Amino acid sequence: MKKTLRVFGIIAVVVCLIVSIVACDKKGDKDTIDVVAVSESEYASVEDALKGYVKEELAYSTTNYNNEVEEVVKAEYVSNESKGEVAGNTIKLSDAQKTNFVSAEKYAVKVKVAFASINEDFSEATQTVYVLKYGEKFKFMVSTPEVGERITNSYVKMLTDSSKYENCTVSGVGMGKEEDDEEPIFDSATEFKFTKEASQQIKYYDKTRFDNHTPGGDDESNDRVMYVVKNGDSIASVENRISEDKEVWTATALEGEYYKDIKTVADYNKYMFENNVFYMFENLPAALFTKTEKGFEYKYEEVEEDGDKETAVYTITVSDNKIIGMNLIESYIWTVEEKTYVESFESDSKISAFGSTTVSVPEAVTEALSQLA
């Protein structure tokens, strides 16, 4: 391969879901407006509220290992245009959000957004923002983004709320294409089943076994099965190993400083989602994505001085205010003596079986667990 794929470190994040076995919308009724969030801050004017929206909902910063604040997404307010007053009864405010509410107005807000870490030029976008009047003060209100608009921080926060994923199944497949391959080739896949009582994680190194949900049972397969279960006042992982065609289960207590805040299976599942499934939003914050009919996506392309091209397409699928699909295709394209070469990596993950996922813990797992002191 001529160069290592390097777009924003996305692969490192996505592979964490695909490879690691230990650590891993709707708009509403047509006559109502869904409320994603209402600002906690109050503002003295409408324009101040709209500028607050740009700062809080589109700009994004993070704190690095040196405890320094790094700007990831830059966002600038440009202008606004009123789209008229909105009847208060069409906005689905909670009882608390209705306290002292006076009126609501819809605005089209023009903004500029840029990815700070790669010095990308600012691109303009127009966002739908609602401003609510409370007494003599104003708050901005975030609704589900409209198609073509940038995604907001509050929308991602709502979609990634771990309580929505307490019972579900996550499957991820990784595929790679080298320069001489005709099509991408299966690399590995992982299936996670999450319930509050137990979680199951299976790593596959063969496409047929993954498609058939039958992990291999010999030394050559390298497939692995692991359960995370309750162990007294904490939790434990129990993982299988194949040795001389014999299956051996080994239990490990998940304790110590690293697991000090993880005492239940539900805690573990929440950690997995926040740090292994949805962690990509740390590297690719909300405002880089654009709303589509089925969710939202981010596209990137960079052409180097020698003509080599690096591309990435990251697509999120949303249904019923939950993320149900995450797909990444990252490619590097170059030409030598008029022949074009392409290397790529694709990760495709799906989240399903909400509320109907079950995990049956085998007797061998219970026996291994009993061996722990």
* Per-residue pLDDT tens over the stretch 156-215: 999 999 999 999 999 999 999 988 888 899 999 999 999 999 999 999 999 999 999 999
Q: Is the dihedral of CA 259, 264, 265, 267 positive or negative?
A: negative
**Model confidence pTM above 0.95:** no
* pLDDT, block means (10 residues), the chain with 373 residues: 43 41 42 94 98 97 84 94 95 95 98 81 92 98 97 97 95 91 91 96 94 81 91 92 80 89 94 88 91 96 86 96 96 88 93 97 93 76
Tokens representing residue 86 in the block = 């909105």
Query: For residue 160, what is the enclosing H or E element?
Result: none
Residue of 332, 352, 354, 329 whose CA lies nearest to 342: 332
Question: How far is the C-alpha of 94 from the C-alpha of 35, rounded, in Å?
Answer: 9
Please count the other Cβ atoms lying within 10 Å of the Cβ belonging to residue 337. 4
**Contact yes or no for 267/297 (Cβ under 8 A):** no
**Contact yes or no for 250/226 (Cβ under 8 A):** no
**Contact yes or no for 200/192 (Cβ under 8 A):** yes
Question: Which residues 6+ apart lie within 8 Å of 353 measured at CB?
Answer: 167, 168, 169, 193
Residues 148, 143, 102: CA angle, nearest 5 degrees = 135
Question: How far is the C-alpha of 2 from the C-alpha of 222, rounded, in Å?
Answer: 30
* Per-residue pLDDT tens over the stretch 130-152: 999 999 999 999 999 999 999 99
Type of residue found at 168: C
